[in-house]
Amino acid sequence: MSNSSLFKAERAMALGQYTRTVKYFKAYLRRKPRVPLNEQELNMLSDAYKNRLNQKRYTMRKLKVRIESLGVEDEEYTILSSKLDTYRNEMILICRDVIDIINDNLIFNCVETRESVLIHTMKGDFYRCIWEEDNNEVTCRETTKEYHTAYSLCEWNFESSDPLLLKTAMKYAFQLSDAGNNRLAIVILKRVIDNAQEHLDKNYLADKPIIESLIMDLNNNLIMFIDNQRIVDYIEELVSGMIEPLENQSADNIISRRQG
């Protein structure tokens, strides 16, 4: 980081001064709007914004705990609820700020595929933060689109056991599941795990322990998604009248279904 603004950003980040870190990054991007950021710089920018969000989240959690202990008619309830809304709006503004930086300075300047993956993943992360607060369908679609783009870039350009591909697949699968497409999340995770394990078995890789750990995490999440899907399937069958409630079924029927 030879540029003075980037050096200042790095120093501010080390000191935990996240707002100043963002300020110095913006100063650099204003002077050099067409110069791409490398992986280290992208991660630092993302971490600075995420730490700013975490500071807001910490305060919001404390407010929520206090609000839950109050009655709706309590005057403090109204005051704290208003403060909570303010913090929520501030979080969304922080996310919009970094998304604007990505759109204006980062996406079109990127020349390396790995950096492109990081940028689209970063954009997905901050759209997801907004979605968690506004619960808006449009925001959900934008989040899914960015994770899908990042995952597709990995799938087309990287080895099947590349750690970045595995991490990106994890985020994409979680987003799909949370957005109501659990079946597709399961399909993707199964494919990613099988391909990664096959590549790992056939090749000597220096980062094998990291890859094995990521595959284990993917497997654990796959099990969770499958269990969730079984619950969803049961509820859908119950609502449609295809099966009887468990309390109305005989023990033999329940055992047969589980074995099936």
pLDDT digits (tens, 9 = 90+) for 110-135: 889 999 999 999 999 999 999 999 99
15 domain-assigned:
yes
Q: What is the pLDDT of residue 259?
A: 47
- Domain extent, residue 41, equals 1-127
Assign residue 37 the CATH number of its domain: 1.20.190.20
Q: What is the pLDDT of residue 229?
A: 86
Say if CB 41 and CB 24 are below 8 A apart.
Answer: no
Instruction: Report in angstroms the alpha-carbon separations of 78 from 67, 90, 211.
Output: 9, 19, 49
Q: What is the pLDDT of residue 1?
A: 43
227 domain-assigned:
no
40 domain-assigned:
yes
Its pTM stands at: 0.85
Say if CB 117 and CB 168 are below 8 A apart.
Answer: yes
Rounded Cα distance, 201 and 72, in Å? 59
Q: What SS3 class is residue 107? A: coil
Structure tokens at 75: 């005057």
Instruction: Please give the tally of structural domains in the chain.
Output: 1
247 domain-assigned:
no
pLDDT digits (tens, 9 = 90+) for 173-213: 999 999 999 999 999 999 999 999 999 998 888 889 999 99
User: Is pLDDT at 254 greater than 50 in this prediction?
Assistant: no
User: Is pLDDT at 64 greater than 70 in this prediction?
Assistant: yes
The pLDDT confidence band at residue 245, using thresholds 50, 70 and 90, is low
User: Is pLDDT at 54 greater than 60 in this prediction?
Assistant: yes
97 domain-assigned:
yes
Say if CB 157 and CB 165 are below 8 A apart.
Answer: no
253 or 235, greater pLDDT: 235
Q: What is the pLDDT of residue 216?
A: 96
255 domain-assigned:
no
Say if CB 228 and CB 185 are below 8 A apart.
Answer: no
156 or 251, greater pLDDT: 156
The pLDDT confidence band at residue 35, using thresholds 50, 70 and 90, is confident
9 domain-assigned:
yes
Q: What is the pLDDT of residue 128?
A: 97
Q: What is the pLDDT of residue 205?
A: 81
| Residue recorded with tokens 């050096």 | 7
Rounded Cα distance, 81 and 92, in Å? 17
20 domain-assigned:
yes
43 or 254, greater pLDDT: 43
